Structure 1
């Protein structure tokens, strides 16, 4: 497992939307001494304008693999349903379950942020030009136990 959180900005940072950049900067500020931040380190009062676009997915040790624990109101609106409490397999929003799993798996295996801005045709045949950022969270600073996700699309306004 790779475990180096550096001060260098990732190559995708400049092309990312404002919401994504803001959350990445916030998350990186919570990384202490090379350790991943925990869920408890994420204080909603520090990022109130981003809350509607955030999702927290828990990594579970059973066949469900990943479970939606918190889903922001704008994310629910874009999806057309509230997946809170459901597994990613039951309620993913993407081109396929394999691609959804791949993004979560990459985040866990590398214990690093994963950025994806590939357009896709989502459930119901709707074209999506979303960009998504998957940020690892850890109860022990090393092993990923939750993933903080922000999604931004042309339907999502940037904040000034």
Structure 2
């Protein structure tokens, strides 16, 4: 695959490294999504799912995931998995548990499915239990060559109360700088 392969519709085949947690978002769309969630959060500890107005963030929806906590955050069931995420990862994940990711022949099935599940659970649980946003970068590579960087955010959401019940995430990709 070449550096532009995602733009032509080919899918990422594997992740070469663990995600890198960063202090502040770097991608403009992650910054925009975080600013929106901060605005609707107001003076509460976390934003509430009911306060999200999809029309206000329609441009970002294809890159978003909403996951609902199962067993107190032991796992999460995906309620929304954006179309750009499906295209990038090669697997429709709406309705699945994070612990089921990459088990049915998705783009990362040749990668270690348990590693894929651990990555998603780690980031989601870090936001959920930490009760604050988590920002990260995720490298994608093929044939030993880094070609995309996923810029991500995971934010805990309440559902009518004060305790986290869901998470909202976003992933936006850029081409990796040639080395």
User: Shorter-normalised TM-score: what interval?
Assistant: 0.7 to 0.9
Once the two structures are TM-superposed, the CA of residue 62 in structure 1 deviates from its matched residue by: 7.2
Q: Output one character per residue of 1:12-59: Cα deviation in whole Å (capped at 9) or x when no partner.
A: 13xx11110000000000113233121111110111111111110111
What secondary structure sits across from 1:34 in the alignment?
Answer: coil
More strand by share: 2
The match for 2:100 is 90
- Residue 5 of structure 1: aligned partner: none
TM-score normalised by structure 2 residue count: 0.69
- Per mean C-alpha deviation after superposition, the further-off stretch among 142-151 and 90-99 is 90-99
- Kept in 2, the 8 Å contact 1:55–1:150? The answer is yes
Larger Rg: 2
**Structure 1 segment 16-55 matched on structure 2, within 5 A:** 16-55=26-65
Distance 1:12 1:64, change over 3 A: closer
Count of aligned positions:
143
Distance 2:81 2:54 in 1: 13
Q: 2:133, 2:156 within 8 Å by CA — same for their partners in 1?
A: yes
Structure 2 segments unaligned to the other structure (5+ residues): 1-21, 103-107
* Local SS of the residue matching 2:71: coil
More displaced 10-residue stretch of structure 1: 139-148 or 20-29: 139-148
Change (3 A) 1:35 1:71: same
Q: Are the structure 2 counterparts of residues 64 and 109 from structure 1 closer, same or farther at C-alpha, using a change threshold of 3 Å?
A: closer
Match of 2:172 in 1: 152
1:71 to 73, 81, 84: 81
Give the whole-Å Cα distance in 1 for the aligned partners of 2:72 and 2:32: 33
Moved more, 33-42 or 94-103: 94-103
User: RMSD of the alignment, in Å?
Assistant: 2.8
Matched-pair contact (CA < 8 Å) for 1:36–1:141: no
C-alpha distance 116-63 of structure 1, shift in aligned 2 (>3 A): closer
Q: Which residue of 1 aligns with 2:10?
A: none
Q: Return the TM-score normalized by structure 1.
A: 0.77
